[in-house]
Amino acid sequence: MIPTKKISIAMADDHAMLRKGLIKLLTVIGNYDALFDVDSGNEVIEQLKNHKIPDVLILDVNMAGRDGQQTAQWVSSHFPQVKILALSMFNDEATILRMIQAGAKGYITKNNDPEKLKEAIDTLYQKGIYLPESLSEKLFSGIKNNVLAIPEEPGLELTAKEKEFLSLLTQELSYKEIADRMFLSPRTIDDYRIKLTKKLNVKGKSGLIIYAINNGLR
């Protein structure tokens, strides 16, 4: 019997105990070859430049320095053959959309058990994409509400405050937290939300987030 090819994996997460524990466990329960585990996006880049190129890269979304989104953008641009599986504590549509926009082909939350992570890796390797049903509903809801929107008119200009609001919206902040950051009342922030959805001709929070990401406001 010809042995099945091992899937090469790598992981970036700035929580060393979690990262090393998961990598060790994955090599026990799955048919994997662990190429490297590091604690930052910059180290991922160094490893890839040194020709350690995994089939699947498990990438923490929130890391100090070069975060998961920035790392995913670099990896997908320079090593598109690497399948990126985003790993996060968050399951909101803003985070999911940002990572998929950045090049991730899969997304899983940290509250899942190791067997679910194994399933995600195997599915991503075999099919090229992985998104559990609970998260795909959030994602497609966001896309549905924005994809049919009429593009903005050429020359449409945003004020500095509007750009700041859109930028903060991509950072997983609540409207109250955005109000605090901008030193404005929640009512004023709500007015920004309503006016911008009309001005940009998008629908809901996800539409504003997609606009901000597509226009570099993050």
pLDDT tens for 207-218 read 788 778 777 776
Please state, in angstroms and rounded to a whole number, the distance separating the CA atoms of residues 144 and 139.
9
How does pLDDT run across 124-145, given as a tens digit for each residue?
999 888 887 666 665 655 555 5
- Mean pLDDT throughout 61-86? 92
Q: For residue 122, what is the DSSP state?
A: H
pTM: 0.66
150 has a pLDDT exceeding 80: no
C-alpha closest to that of 14 among 66, 78, 90, 77: 66
Q: How far apart are CA 218 and CA 213, in angstroms?
A: 6
**Distance from chain centroid for Cα 158:** 26
> What are the tens digits of pLDDT across the range 76-129?
999 999 999 999 888 777 788 788 888 899 999 988 888 999 999 999 999 888
Helix (H, G, I), strand (E, B) or coil at 211: helix
Exposure letters 26-39 (e unless 16+ CB within 10 A, then b): beeebebebbbbbb
115: number of Cβ within 10 Å? 11
Tell me: pLDDT of 16 over 50: yes
Helix axes 133-147, 204-214, angle to 10 degrees: 80
Average pLDDT over residues 172-179: 85
Q: What is the mean pLDDT of the chain?
A: 84
CA 73 to chain centre: 10
Structure tokens at 18: 């979690």
Q: Which residues contact 102 (CB under 8 A, 6 or more apart)?
A: 68, 69, 70, 72, 73, 76
Q: What is the pLDDT of residue 120?
A: 94
Q: Which domains does the chain have, with CATH numbers?
A: 7-132 (3.40.50.2300), 160-214 (1.10.10.10)
More confident residue, 3 or 183: 183
Q: Tell me what percent of the residues of the chain surpass a pLDDT of 90.
A: 44
